[in-house]
Amino acid sequence: MESPEDGVLRSRCRPAPKMPTFPDLDGKCSPGGHPQGNGDNHVITNGKIEVEHLISKKLQLKRKAEYLKSDLMRRFDSQVNDFMDSLIEESAKLEPAPVSAVFSPPLSDHERSKLSHFRPPHGQGKLFVSRRSLLDELFEVNHIRTIYHMFIALLILFIFSTLVVDFIDEGRLVLDFDLLVYAFGQFPLVVCTWICMFLSVLVVPYTLFHLWSHTQSGSFAHPNLYSVLFGSVFLLYQALGLGFLPTYVVVTNSLPPASCSVVIMEQVRLMMKAHSFVRENVPRFLAWSKDKTSPGPVVPQVSHYLYFLFAPTLIYRDKYPRNPVIRWGYVATKFLQVLGCLFYAYYVFVRLCIPQFRSVSLQLFDLKAMVLCVFNSILPGVLVLFLGFFAFLHCWHNAFAEMLRFADRMFYKDWWNSTSFANYYRTWNVVVHDWLYYYVYRDFLWMSQKRFRPAAMLFVFTVSAVVHEYILAICFGFFYPVLFCLFMCFGMMFNFILHDQRKGPIWNIIMWTSLFLGQGVIICLYSHEWYAQRYCPLKEPSFLELLKPRSWSCQRGLVVESDNL
């Protein structure tokens, strides 16, 4: 039987294809295919170089080089394909199977237990491996790092222009950062609310699972009844303890946007983590309770659950691949970059957004004004998109991953190279996408016995759109479902039109154009509604008036001056 190595060696030992002959200008060739020259008399005539012969020589060499290049690439592709085929064959042979101990020595119990920690339960789910973030690798290339330097230079120009304008207007340097102070107002209340949420998530789901696991050991009668009871209590806690109470605190205390976003986004994150913890451990216990041929599954330790609550992932595992050391310099750099992005966003709003929307003449909905507003909002919208991605998905996640020695740093992929919106949705935020894929999409298919894949995809889009719109509605203090409509209408449409079969640079250009335009629409419409809510407040609004966008009816003559923004 031929081994994979023999196949690779055979591909390397194939006879090289015969080199084609390239006749000289006079058409004479040697038997070996090499052109024969006529000596110096052919090259030089009366002391002058024959220009035609020199040009033909250059063309001949160019044709030879092109042929060699194509032949080399063809042979290289053939060898790579043969090597990959043999590698796939070899990996298929290494699948779990009753192989003789001579070729596969058995693992010890400790090694098998250690390896199983990183494998998904029952052979399904996300597999965590040690890998770096993509931007960390790309920043080692000088060309990519230069783009990073360009954004820093733009920040310096923003700071300089703001200082100059403030000095001209006020006659002094203004360094009060009033927008940041307003946006992060009532921060002690935010910290207290977060501590209460975190402690409740640490205690309630773990305690419920621990008590429920005792009822499934066989010593209790009616285990299904206990499962329904504990499951109902857990859902009630998710709805009231994590769902209603933090929102009530935010709304009743009228937290400003940034402080509100901290509470609401942490609320959503902790709810997703609690669901993952229960979702990953309950099936393992139920599978054991049915056969009971293997030793009972160990209840996860509190330290494992506590580590998961801080780890930058939404998929629970008892253990994750870990790095040996913590690079505290790397951690400090990432937190400084987050702080820099925060000030960057501040200057983007101060220089590009607030002057435009504060001085705009608020009147009845005008299509021309809206179109101009959208195109003027594309630049700040794109900058906010890049800053949010870099600060949160790269710097923030990597900082906590480094402090926890969390080795799997694939929080995103190369979404900027996407030629389809389907690929963009999968690669923009891998952390959230994994949760939606394993706990929404696949569970929906499991419950429907894999019969309604389009409905499962629609359900995933609906869940994502509702959560995004919920965050924006609570943080801004008004309901204006722009993002929800973009998700459910254009997002779903582009997901099927710009699908994975679309390849080539033109589709990447279309994807970026759509993304830029969408950011302009979001910044424009939400900013208009923000100022309309403050310029035209309603004293006793009805429920329908709360749902109707205020910017559609607010007029400049009805403006009430506001100190905020």
List the catalytic residues: 468
Q: How many whole angstroms separate alpha carbon 29 and alpha carbon 533? A: 87
Sign of the alpha-carbon torsion through 397, 403, 404, 408: positive
Per the CB < 8 A criterion, the answer to whether 542 and 331 are in contact is no
Q: How many whole angstroms separate alpha carbon 230 and alpha carbon 208? A: 7
Paired tokens of 504 = 């080539």
Q: How many whole angstroms separate alpha carbon 216 and alpha carbon 564? A: 56
φ/ψ (deg, to 5) at 124: -130, 160
Q: How many whole angstroms separate alpha carbon 379 and alpha carbon 375? A: 8
Q: List C-alpha distances in Å: 143 to 137, 140, 148, 150.
A: 12, 9, 9, 11
Paired tokens of 75 = 């042979």
φ/ψ (deg, to 5) at 343: -70, -30
Q: How many whole angstroms separate alpha carbon 278 and alpha carbon 285? A: 11
Task: Say how far residue 502 (Cα) sits from the centre of its chain.
Answer: 21
Q: How many whole angstroms separate alpha carbon 12 and alpha carbon 8? A: 6
HEC string of 188-210? HHHHHHHHHHHHHHHHHHHHHHH
Per the CB < 8 A criterion, the answer to whether 300 and 212 are in contact is no
Residues 6+ apart with CB under 8 A from 337: 390, 391, 395
- DSSP for residue 364: S
Per the CB < 8 A criterion, the answer to whether 208 and 236 are in contact is no
Per the CB < 8 A criterion, the answer to whether 354 and 565 are in contact is yes
User: How large is the angle between the packed helices 223-236 and 257-291, nearest 10 degrees?
Assistant: 170
Per the CB < 8 A criterion, the answer to whether 226 and 209 are in contact is no
- DSSP for residue 104: S
E-only strand ranges, 3-121: 44-45, 48-49
Task: Say how far residue 469 (Cα) sits from the centre of its chain.
Answer: 18
Per the CB < 8 A criterion, the answer to whether 308 and 397 are in contact is no
371 CB-side CA count, 13 A: 3
Per the CB < 8 A criterion, the answer to whether 381 and 519 are in contact is yes
Paired tokens of 488 = 């459910």
φ/ψ (deg, to 5) at 135: -70, -35
Sign of the alpha-carbon torsion through 463, 465, 471, 477: negative
Whose structure tokens read 């107002």?
Answer: 185
Whose structure tokens read 């993304």?
Answer: 515
